[in-house]
Structure 1
Amino acid sequence: MTALRPERESGASYGESFTDSYGGAGDQGTSYGQQPYEGSGALGEWQGGEDYVTQGQAPTQAQAQGAEGYDAGYGSAGYATDGYGGGSYEGPYEDLYSEQHSEPYSETYSEPYIPPADDETVALRIPDPPATGESISASAASSATSTTGPPTGGRAARRKAARRRHGRHGGSREESEAAETSPETSGAPLSRMEARRQAKARKPSPGVLASRAIGEVFITTGVLMLLFVSYQLWWTNVRAHAQADKEASSLQDDWASGKRNPGTFEPGQGFAILHIPKLDVVVPIAEGVSNKKVLDRGMVGHYGEGKLKTPMPDAKTGNFGLAGHRNTHGEPFRYINRLTRGDAIVVETQDKYFVYKMASILPVTSPSNVSVLDPVPPGSGFTKAGRYITLTTCTPEFTSKYRLIVWGKMVEERPRSKGKPDALVS
């Protein structure tokens, strides 16, 4: 910005004041705001010197005398000592001066002159008071100019302002302008080619369709897996418990009515009830170890078929082998690993109770280790033939990779007529 420049005042300099005031061609006021002298005598005669000053003609004798009188009264010495210089005025026009300055200054006060705005030098100015309705719009326009106007400051400030307006890389102003002037936004009807182009642009690409299809397949698969897990872990237990309870009630009703007698049973036919008081297990025992006919229905199966056939509990010697699920489908053997030596295992039949005491456990073995069902199973701690019971199930939980084995030895055979054994009463 250039330096400040003083504005031209209403009055002129001393030389110009002399020409204008006393010659009649300048402003009405002098540099001191006084009115031009209009007197008689030498001053009046000097006014005739206008031709000499403005028109360049030779002064007359009277005009020359008036000039001499002016030099005598308002010369360099006299002007320095008059009322303008602060001293006493003693010229030939003392009376005229006293007459004009006898009364106080009473000119009408006028507003100070405010120069117009200078575009090159922005000087201080007094703004016009805004109207009531224009104040809000002016403030809004100023805020809009501050946010959208050209950025001030260095290069970094300009870059930040450009990022705020058009994104990180300046944005695509051309695209935004084209979108603003597009037929869709302007409301103009679309041509057939433009409509086809826009419909093609809105149509998803094959990659998008494939990703959607894959996502839907994954979602469907996940939902199906969740439903299957819920079915296996929850619903199968609900159904198996219901079927097992129904079979146990049917057995007890038949025993009470005398419809069933000890003997050979068909595969899937229930013939006894297993009690494990410590684990709160009460489950029917059915013939065979078929999943569909026995195990999946929540019952315990008896190894009574083929090479894995084992004797019944009422046999004089032998190993009574049972199998059951550890997880799902009623999971009757889920916690048999918690049994300890001496825990009771009771088999209830139509006419007797057979009470066993837990003797030993084999935590992990192969599914093909069928020797655990031998009359004297190895690893059980038994040394001679006797009346034993073997419980088999899968391990670890929720898998069927290995087998868990629990052995027990019969300690009591009690007829039903004598009531329940102590293991079931307590």
Structure 2
Amino acid sequence: MAILDAPSPKQSRGPGAKVVRTVGELLITAGLVVLLFVVYELYVTDLFSAQKQANAAAGLDNDWSQGRELHPELIDGKAFAKLYIPGFGADYHFTIQEGTDAAALEVGPGHYKGTALPGQPGNFAVAGHRVGKGAPFNDLDLLSSCDAIVVETQTDFFVYRVLPHSDEIANWSSGKGKQPQCAKVGTLRTAGADGGPYGQTVGREIVDPSQVAVIAPVPHHLTDVLPTAQQVALLTLTTCHPQFSDRQRLIVHAVLTNQFPKTPGATYAQLLQAIGEA
């Protein structure tokens, strides 16, 4: 019985097979390009930013040791303060640069120009990357109400604590608000039906990029609803949300609870002991 000859590989290759092979090769190439881009964004930019951050920190320390006055004329892209978040570990510290353009944020967190300065009434607002370029705000979503955020300037340590989250407001005074670390953290609300000027201000929120009012002196109010002397001293941190996307913004609001003038030899470690975070 005759057996049919199987077609040779060369005979089986038609125009369709060539198209499939070409498309497959293009997809593999595209995949490699995307992978290399991800590696660059996640790791290579971190290395570049780490060096820039180290240089900025060394420059700031030198300015402070020389007694150079850094206020009130801040310089775009130049570091003028340091940021610590004790809950993120003892090695978490970044300089804060003036401005939020790409160059400033490649070094570390950047101060929104025109917003309040550390410790002042109003809203000291700071932006930072969440992925790549040092990713200083990668874990911002892990912050809980009353967690400490410390800002160091040439003359002072300012301790801010995250405001109550929206689901904690109603029972704050009888719930978490009774914990020791929350002693100076309130809801900022008045007895009015709308809660007053700070009725929309909570410890964490997700907003669209267009909602710039979150960094207003009184968050969510672009108009002056309170004179400066009556404004609460706030710190607002902003970053992209969710991770690997800039579709929205993650916002953390914190309130000033302590100010410690820097005495000779004062250290961040001593501050942590003073505020019960050591």
| TM-score with structure 2 setting the length | 0.71
Deviation at 1:415, TM superposition (A): 1.7
The corresponding residue for 2:34 is: 225
| 1:266 to 2:266 alignment | no
Within a 5 Å distance, the mapping from 1:16-415 to structure 2 comes to 162=1, 170-172=3-5, 210-280=19-89, 281-291=92-102, 293-297=103-107, 299-304=108-113, 309-315=114-120, 317-360=121-164, 361-378=203-220, 385-415=231-261
- Please tell me the root mean square deviation across aligned C-alpha atoms, in Å: 2.7
- Structure number with greater CO (CA < 8 Å, separation at least 6) is 2
Aligned residues: 222
Letter in 1 for 2:248: Y
Q: Secondary structure at the match of 1:240?
A: helix
The corresponding residue for 2:188 is: none
Could you tell me how far apart the structure 1 residues matched to 2:250 and 2:243 are?
Answer: 10
Structure with a larger share of its residues in helix: 1
Is the contact made by 2:130 and 2:239 (CA closer than 8 Å) also made in structure 1? yes
Could you tell me how far apart the structure 1 residues matched to 2:150 and 2:5 are?
Answer: 84
Deviation at 1:314, TM superposition (A): 4.4
Could you tell me how far apart the structure 2 residues matched to 1:221 and 1:261 are?
Answer: 48
Q: Secondary structure at the match of 1:417?
A: coil
| TM-score with structure 1 setting the length | 0.48
Deviation at 1:391, TM superposition (A): 0.8
Deviation at 1:241, TM superposition (A): 2.2
Question: Which structure has the larger Rg?
Answer: 1
Could you give the per-residue CA deviations for residues 85-143 of structure 1, whole angstroms, max 9, x where no partner exists?
xxxxxxxxxxxxxxxxxxxxxxxxxxxxxxxxxxxxxxxxxxxxxxxxxxxxxxxxxxx
Q: Secondary structure at the match of 1:397?
A: coil
Structure with a larger share of its residues in strand: 2
Q: Which runs of 5+ in 2 are unaligned?
A: 165-202
Could you tell me how far apart the structure 2 residues matched to 1:211 and 1:340 are?
Answer: 52
Return closer, same or farther for 1:411/1:209 CA change in 2, 3 Å cut-off: same
Letter in 2 for 1:295: L
Return closer, same or farther for 1:352/1:172 CA change in 2, 3 Å cut-off: closer
The corresponding residue for 2:198 is: none
Is the contact made by 1:342 and 1:358 (CA closer than 8 Å) also made in structure 2? yes
The corresponding residue for 2:272 is: 424
Could you tell me how far apart the structure 2 residues matched to 1:330 and 1:172 are?
Answer: 63
Could you give the per-residue CA deviations for residues 229-283 of structure 1, whole angstroms, max 9, x where no partner exists?
1111222222222321221122112211234432212211111110111113211
Is the contact made by 2:116 and 2:217 (CA closer than 8 Å) also made in structure 1? no
Return closer, same or farther for 1:364/1:314 CA change in 2, 3 Å cut-off: closer
Deviation at 1:363, TM superposition (A): 3.0
Could you tell me how far apart the structure 1 residues matched to 2:51 and 2:96 are?
Answer: 15
Return closer, same or farther for 1:357/1:420 CA change in 2, 3 Å cut-off: farther
Q: Which runs of 5+ in 1 are unaligned?
A: 1-161, 176-200
Could you tell me how far apart the structure 1 residues matched to 2:87 and 2:76 are?
Answer: 29
Could you tell me how far apart the structure 2 residues matched to 1:394 and 1:267 are?
Answer: 22
Deviation at 1:206, TM superposition (A): 5.9
Is the contact made by 1:274 and 1:347 (CA closer than 8 Å) also made in structure 2? yes
Letter in 2 for 1:331: A
Is the contact made by 1:337 and 1:363 (CA closer than 8 Å) also made in structure 2? no
Could you give the per-residue CA deviations for residues 274-331 of structure 1, whole angstroms, max 9, x where no partner exists?
011111321110011112x11133x101111xxxx2021143x211011111122111
Could you tell me how far apart the structure 1 residues matched to 2:153 and 2:23 are?
Answer: 57
